[in-house]
Structure 1
């Protein structure tokens, strides 16, 4: 006995649950890989907790957080390139500042960095903005000024925080 197809059959073939999903923002490959390497490169055995190079590099007092903040700025730079809205850029900048502040506390800051996952958060904001508006118009002068401020200020603050933390630590160690 054969079944006749019903009228509600769609022309699209069914997609298996485990089939790879097309990347909604293929232009963001560099930022996606960077977020993965910095926040989720390896999983702690027996858990679902990912640890990336950001936490490992952060173990180097002062200098590690400086390097981590600089590398994390690449995702924010991509956000400006793809003209992510200013409120999202502000959230990304705030995330970087919080990440730098967490790194000031040796040891504990690195554990908090694993939980904070600044790069994943910023990549998610970037991806969402690009998905919602894949082809924004040309940037206005106001956007450029705001974007530069929201990229430069967090990076400079991250550098300053790292340098001050390193200086205080060296002063404490060497009297």
Structure 2
């Protein structure tokens, strides 16, 4: 669905706010770097990754509604999968999550795509469903692997 310009700007402002909250809301004192609540949520085993993926998935759905191409949507989901995959590695994943900022990357991809009006397309809802279903499956598998690793780690002490 191609929204009128005012509605599109309202949605983009909302997506930018969400991205900022999850990727850059909090300054790190004494540095030029900022973090959001996404890496903090990542400290919660499994639940944090799911919450982050749901919010990131919402951004992808809105991008589809605004006419993002299959290629742009695929790249956006790829950023989320990479973020979730690396996030399963304890501590290292959280450090990478601070730098990767998948939501910020996805907003930039969407803005670039939308800046070229001839590229705005009608949403292929089957493709979007396939992408989001694949994302959910990957997040589930990553969580299961993370759970298995934690279980093996704690069993090594018994």
Short-chain TM bin: 0.7 to 0.9
Q: What's the counterpart of residue 126 of structure 1?
A: 110
Structure 1 residues 76 and 51: CA distance shift in structure 2, 3 A: same
Name the count of aligned residue pairs. Answer: 149
Q: What's the counterpart of residue 140 of structure 2?
A: 159
Q: Point out where structure 2 has 5 or more consecutive residues left out of the alignment.
A: 1-7
Q: What's the counterpart of residue 71 of structure 1?
A: 55
1:67-120: CA deviation from partner (whole Å, max 9, x where unpaired): 211221111111111120110011001101100111110111000001101010
CA distance in 2: counterparts of 1:128 and 1:47, whole angstroms: 29
Runs of 4+ in 1 over 6 A off after TM superposition: none
8 Å Cα contact 1:25/1:130 also seen in 2: no
Q: Post-superposition shift, 1:135?
A: 9.4
CA distance in 2: counterparts of 1:73 and 1:170, whole angstroms: 28
CA RMSD of aligned residues (A): 2.1
Q: What's the counterpart of residue 93 of structure 1?
A: 77
Higher relative helix content: 2
Q: What's the counterpart of residue 44 of structure 1?
A: 28
Q: What's the counterpart of residue 128 of structure 2?
A: 147
Bigger radius of gyration: 1
SS in 2 for 1:25: helix
Q: Post-superposition shift, 1:138?
A: 4.1
What is the TM-score normalised by the length of structure 2? Answer: 0.83
Q: What's the counterpart of residue 3 of structure 1?
A: none
Structure 1 residues 37 and 134: CA distance shift in structure 2, 3 A: farther
Q: Point out where structure 1 has 5 or more consecutive residues left out of the alignment.
A: 1-23
Q: Post-superposition shift, 1:38?
A: 0.4
